[in-house]
Amino acid sequence: MKILIIDENKADQMHSADALNHTHYTFEIDQMDTAEAGLLAVKAQAYDLILLDYPLLIASGMELINELNASEMGRVVVMLSHADKDETAMKCLEQGAQDFIIKSEITPSRLMSIAMQARQCKKIEGELLESRSQLQRLAERDTLTNLSNRYMFEIGLEQGLALSKRHNTGMALLVLDLDNFKNINDTMGHGVGDTLLQTVAKRLTKTVRGGDMLCRLGGDEFAILMHDLEEPELIDYLTKRIFETMREPLIVDGVEVHLTVSIGVATYPGCGEGANQLLKCADIAMYQSKDSGRNQVVFYSSDVHERIMKRVELERDLHSAVSNKEFYLCYQPQVNCETEEMIGIEALIRWKHPEKGLVSPEDFIPMAEKISLINDIGDWVFETAFAQYSKWRSQKIAFSDNFSLSVNVSALQLEQSDLAERVEKWLKEYDLPASSIEIEVTETSLINGSAGCATVLCKLAALGVKLSLDDFGTGYSSLAQLQELPFSVLKVDKSFVKSIDQDNETNDTALFLEGINALAKILKIETVVEGVETETQIQICQRLDFDRLQGYYYAQPMSAEALEHSSLLQQLDAKK
């Protein structure tokens, strides 16, 4: 322990030092005879215990006491005095001393006891300082990446804007979001996800300029504050560095993981003057980056803002559309290519928004997938279509056992491992033969889906349900997929029949259709041609010997009631 004795009386100094040296402990002892000398000593190094003569406190020791009280070290001060008065002791304690000793009562045991108390006080004080440091780190730092957290980001954004306004300088806010990070967490586990976030944080740290602020806002979202922005080109340089550092694969447990990032940028003063406004603009730009294909940077603009706000509003309304019964199903007939009799129907979902009217499935289905509503909507489609089909069969409407009901599913629905079990339950509940149901999957779903999608498709096929590959020919699927997965039906994309030249029945499109049909027949897969609208298209499809046709030439999607009164159904009734 280091002890400082400050006493103007040399004899008293020696008496205190001698008492300390006669204890069982070894102390480092410094001796000063003025408050000024003691103050210099305290500023030069830390002491565990200070023995201070009371008269010095009255004369020039006040500055010393104040210095000790303000210091993080050497706070254990014991006053020494010849006076044996209670008021003297009280004055000492009021000035910041922790104890008071009459000089005549100084003994080795008494000073050793005080020294041990000083040591314990120092230990407790050190623990308190460490606890305070830890609490400060928790309050200001993200525990996973050690970057500044959202709390510090908000403070930094407010302070940065204040400085930019004061010095008339520009500032930029970049919001970064990792693309498809949720899929990594779901497939590889949150432990791998955490490791990736730490690696990304280290890489991003190397890209920012000194003085700029990099934060983790939460999840897989980061933010960068660029201060003193003199040239907008600096933003471009930074984003290029970010994309460059993310281009290299990340290695986790020996596995290469490729991550991309979407960036939204908002600038001060161009995009707003308040912190909330600037953050909102950067978020909107980042969402636009996601919508535009990811792995790119988008700068905020009013047009982007308007589009994003409309989308956000539609997302909010989509959450309540099921409970508010705003969805309904339409049914589009499929006909036998040769006889042109109705032999199947496809169930198609529609959304009638109470204010916006009909919303296209091309707009709300991808949105439902993004906000994890597609499974709930998909279940509603299955149950509603099965219930209606069961009703028609019970009413003995002219649907034979060979008649088919087609229902569409998305890639995310196929991620549900129990989808086949639920379909089996609904088949039993509505007393429907599995062979009369077709489940349509797009080529894109096969590409975007995981390995689990193939397992679910095989389970569905094992039930006896037919699998239909929709939008075939758009360039995604391969022969291997047709061989490996149990598809029974192949639906030719409508883009092919639309390009048939009515004046030339032997054009390249007709030849391509012929090749698709020949392939399907070799694989013993039934074919359906979508988008049929003209007699010429029908004639070519009949000549090429396709199995089924579907399109506006025969009927547009219609309500269940309209289908019951349709001419195609009446023709079936007449032949029944």
- For residue 18, pLDDT over 80 is answered with yes
Do the bridges between strand 213-218 and strand 170-178 make them parallel or antiparallel, or are there none, so unpaired?
unpaired
> What is the full DSSP assignment across 413-454?
HHT-TTHHHHHHHHHHHTT--GGGEEEEEEHHHHHHS-HHHH
Number of domains in the chain: 3
Sign of CA dihedral 550, 555, 560, 564: negative
pLDDT bucket at 434, cuts 50 / 70 / 90: very high
Q: Using alpha carbons, list the distances in angstroms from residue 223 to 142, 231, 338, 442.
A: 13, 20, 62, 37
Task: List, for residues 508-551, the tens digit of each pLDDT value.
Answer: 777 888 888 888 898 899 999 999 999 989 999 999 999 999 99
Domain annotation covers residue 34:
yes
Average pLDDT, the chain: 83
- For residue 416, pLDDT over 70 is answered with yes
Question: Do 474 and 357 fall into the same domain?
Answer: yes
Query: Closest by alpha carbon to 176, among 211, 149, 229, 214?
Result: 214
**51 three-state secondary structure:** strand
For residue 324, how far is the Cα from the chain centroid? Answer: 29
pLDDT bucket at 390, cuts 50 / 70 / 90: very high
> What does the pLDDT average to over 139-150?
85
| Contact between 271 and 279 (Cβ < 8 Å) | no
pTM for this predicted structure: 0.57
Domain annotation covers residue 428:
yes
Domain annotation covers residue 159:
yes
Q: How many CB atoms lie within 10 A of CB 514?
A: 16
Give the per-residue pLDDT at 73: 46
CA–CA dist 359, 315 (Å, integer) = 12
Give the per-residue pLDDT at 320: 87
- Worst-scoring range by mean pLDDT, 30-44, 121-135, 188-202? 121-135
Task: List, for residues 38-51, the tens digit of each pLDDT value.
Answer: 878 878 887 878 88
Question: Do 505 and 540 fall into the same domain?
Answer: yes
Q: How many CB atoms lie within 10 A of CB 299?
A: 22
Question: Do 344 and 479 fall into the same domain?
Answer: yes
Question: Do 244 and 351 fall into the same domain?
Answer: no
**Percentage above 70 pLDDT, the chain:** 83
- Worst-scoring range by mean pLDDT, 2-6, 132-136, 230-234, 508-512? 132-136
Give the per-residue pLDDT at 213: 92
CATH number for the domain that contains residue 79: 3.40.50.2300
Domain annotation covers residue 306:
no
The residue out of 88, 104, 139 marking a domain boundary is 139
- For residue 345, pLDDT over 90 is answered with yes
> What is the full DSSP assignment across 462-522?
HTT-EEEEEEETSS---HHHHHHS---EEEEPHHHHHT--TT-TTSHHHHHHHHHHHHHHH
- For residue 466, pLDDT over 70 is answered with yes
Contacts with 137 (C-beta within 8 Å, 6 or more apart), sequence order: none
CATH number for the domain that contains residue 443: 3.20.20.450
Task: List, for residues 204-214, the tens digit of each pLDDT value.
Answer: 999 998 889 99
CA–CA dist 269, 438 (Å, integer) = 56
**409 three-state secondary structure:** coil
**231 three-state secondary structure:** coil
Q: Residue 275: beta bridge partners?
A: none
**Containing structural domain, residue 215:** 150-300
Residue at 111: amino acid letter: L
Domain annotation covers residue 308:
no
Question: Do 279 and 346 fall into the same domain?
Answer: no
> What does the pLDDT average to over 415-435?
94
Tokens coding 534: 């003209």
Question: Do 296 and 418 fall into the same domain?
Answer: no
CATH number for the domain that contains residue 174: 3.30.70.270
Q: How many CB atoms lie within 10 A of CB 208?
A: 17
Question: Do 236 and 103 fall into the same domain?
Answer: no
The residue out of 246, 266, 300 marking a domain boundary is 300
Question: Do 185 and 287 fall into the same domain?
Answer: yes
Tokens coding 39: 């103050």
Tokens coding 478: 């391969």
Question: Do 351 and 484 fall into the same domain?
Answer: yes
pLDDT bucket at 83, cuts 50 / 70 / 90: low
Cis omega (within 30 of 0) for bond into 269:
yes
Give the per-residue pLDDT at 269: 85
> What is the full DSSP assignment across 276-334?
HHHHHHHHHHHHHHHHTTSSSEEE--HHHHHHHHHHHHHHHHHHHHTTTT-EEEEEEEE
Sign of CA dihedral 241, 247, 251, 252: positive
Q: Using alpha carbons, list the distances in angstroms from residue 502 to 492, 493, 497, 506.
A: 19, 18, 10, 10
Give the per-residue pLDDT at 222: 95
Domain annotation covers residue 21:
yes
pLDDT bucket at 570, cuts 50 / 70 / 90: confident
Give the per-residue pLDDT at 503: 46
Query: Closest by alpha carbon to 546, among 508, 517, 516, 507?
Result: 517
Give the per-residue pLDDT at 422: 95
Do the bridges between strand 261-268 and strand 297-299 make them parallel or antiparallel, or are there none, so unpaired?
parallel
CA–CA dist 336, 542 (Å, integer) = 10
> What does the pLDDT average to over 437-461?
81
Domain annotation covers residue 401:
yes
Domain annotation covers residue 312:
no
Question: Do 362 and 423 fall into the same domain?
Answer: yes
Q: At 363, which helix (H) or strand (E)?
A: helix 361-370
| Contact between 215 and 150 (Cβ < 8 Å) | yes
CA–CA dist 486, 519 (Å, integer) = 15
Task: List, for residues 169-180, the tens digit of each pLDDT value.
Answer: 888 999 999 998
| Contact between 540 and 509 (Cβ < 8 Å) | no
> What does the pLDDT average to over 410-430?
92
- For residue 264, pLDDT over 50 is answered with yes
> What does the pLDDT average to over 451-474?
87
Give the per-residue pLDDT at 571: 74
- For residue 448, pLDDT over 70 is answered with no
pLDDT bucket at 61, cuts 50 / 70 / 90: very low
Question: Do 27 and 79 fall into the same domain?
Answer: yes
| Contact between 529 and 541 (Cβ < 8 Å) | yes
Question: Do 38 and 111 fall into the same domain?
Answer: yes
The residue out of 139, 170, 192 marking a domain boundary is 139
**256 three-state secondary structure:** strand
| Contact between 572 and 342 (Cβ < 8 Å) | yes
Which value, in Å, is the radius of gyration of the alpha carbons in the chain? 40
